[in-house]
Amino acid sequence: MSVIILGIESSCDDTSAAVIKDNILLSNIIANQNVHKSYGGVVPELASRAHQQNIIPVVDEAIRSANLSRDDIDAVAFTRGPGLLGSLLVGTSFVKGFALAQNIKMIEVNHLQAHILVHFLQQSDSVSSMPDFPFLCLLVSGGHTQLVLVKDFLDMEIIGSTIDDAAGEAFDKCAKLMGLPYPGGPHVDKLAKKGDAWRFNFNKPKIDDYNYSFSGLKTSFLYFLRDQLKKDDQFIDNNRADLAASLQRTIIDILLQKFIMAAKDYKVKHIALAGGVSANSGLREAVLKTFDKSGYSTYIPEFSFTTDNAAMIAITGLYKYYKGQFADQDVTPLARMHF
Ligand code: KG4
Ligand code: ZN
């Protein structure tokens, strides 16, 4: 028998609801919060308030565009963490009320696990191939940078992670230094297409094992700009595209070096990308080129499933539903959450 799951995502600044029937996506609605733009970053209190405003209309829209009614939903999955506590509380509280009113089960989902499991989501109009277990996934987002060995749907091992900033933070913080709006990652990506990636060189970290570090790159970028601006106060304006391209190349080089090393050491045949930074066109191209030519099967999510969305929460909820892993009404959100 088919299972219909409603997924809810509210961990940061996107309010999203999605409906799936088994592993097929029926709807995925995302309300972005523009309120943070003028602050140059996400303001937690404003995020919670915007979630509170958005959540009911977003859920209504997700159910309506799936051509279903509330009574068709078998279970509701939600992001328990990690994320901003105030934002997570809105989603969690909504889900408790919804589950009680509909007399259905709740399923708690780890946001990071969900970014990875989006690879198992199918669109109704096309069948896409999925990675085989075990595979190695580079999970790169605004808050996390991890190399994850995925042994099964709900069996994942983090083999490396950043010891300071995440890759998305490196994009966003350096973009801010260049005067670009928040979040800066997509702006750097766009500018980089017109720039010379080999024009400038920035420091790369020397870190053990499969771990990452991005705070040194940010400092190197900051000092470089400061020195150049002393000589030419128009330096950023005159070199923005080359700066973006050189920065992006450096971030991609850092990410790929450990990814390639870990893929070889763990002898996996399938590799995958996930998380907001996997929307980066330079990273997507570099991963495809590097791994395809070495005989790996490479999986990169569609653009709409790279950044935060509830479809990934719903598909993760499905695998937990199959295992009978349900949450109780006293469940609380977690700002930090491991898997
Ligand atoms: O996964 P996500 O939506 O939220 C978190 O869970 O953090 O990731 C957001 C991050 C931001 O740092 C944003 O700048 C970055 O993903 N990002 C990009 C691109 N699109 C989003 N970074 C580089 N290039 C992009 N095209
Ligand atoms: Zn995310």
Please give the tally of structural domains in the chain: 2
Q: Are residues 122 and 172 in the same domain?
A: no
Give the helix/strand (H/E) hosting 139. strand 135-140
Q: Are residues 255 and 234 in the same domain?
A: yes
Q: Are residues 116 and 141 in the same domain?
A: no
pLDDT category at 190 given cuts 50, 70, 90 is: very high
Closest residue (by CA) to atom 16 of ligand 1? 276
Closest residue (by CA) to atom 14 of ligand 1? 185
CA distance 186 to 201: 21
What is the whole-number distance in angstroms between the Cα of residue 14 and the centre of ligand 1? 12
Q: Are residues 36 and 120 in the same domain?
A: yes
- Structural domain of residue 149, as residue ranges? 135-268
Q: Are residues 153 and 110 in the same domain?
A: no
What is the whole-number distance in angstroms between the Cα of residue 143 and the centre of ligand 1? 9
Cβ–Cβ < 8 Å for 169, 214: yes
Residue 290, in any domain of the structure: no
Q: Are residues 68 and 166 in the same domain?
A: no
pLDDT category at 220 given cuts 50, 70, 90 is: very high
Q: pLDDT digit string (tens) for 97-114? A: 999 999 999 999 999 999
What is the whole-number distance in angstroms between the Cα of residue 286 and the centre of ligand 1? 17
pLDDT category at 161 given cuts 50, 70, 90 is: very high
Judge if the upstream peptide bond of residue 183 is cis by omega within 30 degrees of 0: yes
Q: Are residues 120 and 189 in the same domain?
A: no
Q: Are residues 49 and 166 in the same domain?
A: no
Any idea what the CATH number is for the domain that residue 96 is in?
A: 3.30.420.40
Residue 81, in any domain of the structure: yes
Residues with CB under 5 A from ligand 2 (ion): 141, 308
Q: Are residues 87 and 110 in the same domain?
A: yes
pLDDT category at 34 given cuts 50, 70, 90 is: confident
CA distance 317 to 6: 9
Residue 339, in any domain of the structure: no
- Give the contacts of 227 (CB within 8 A, at least 6 positions apart): none
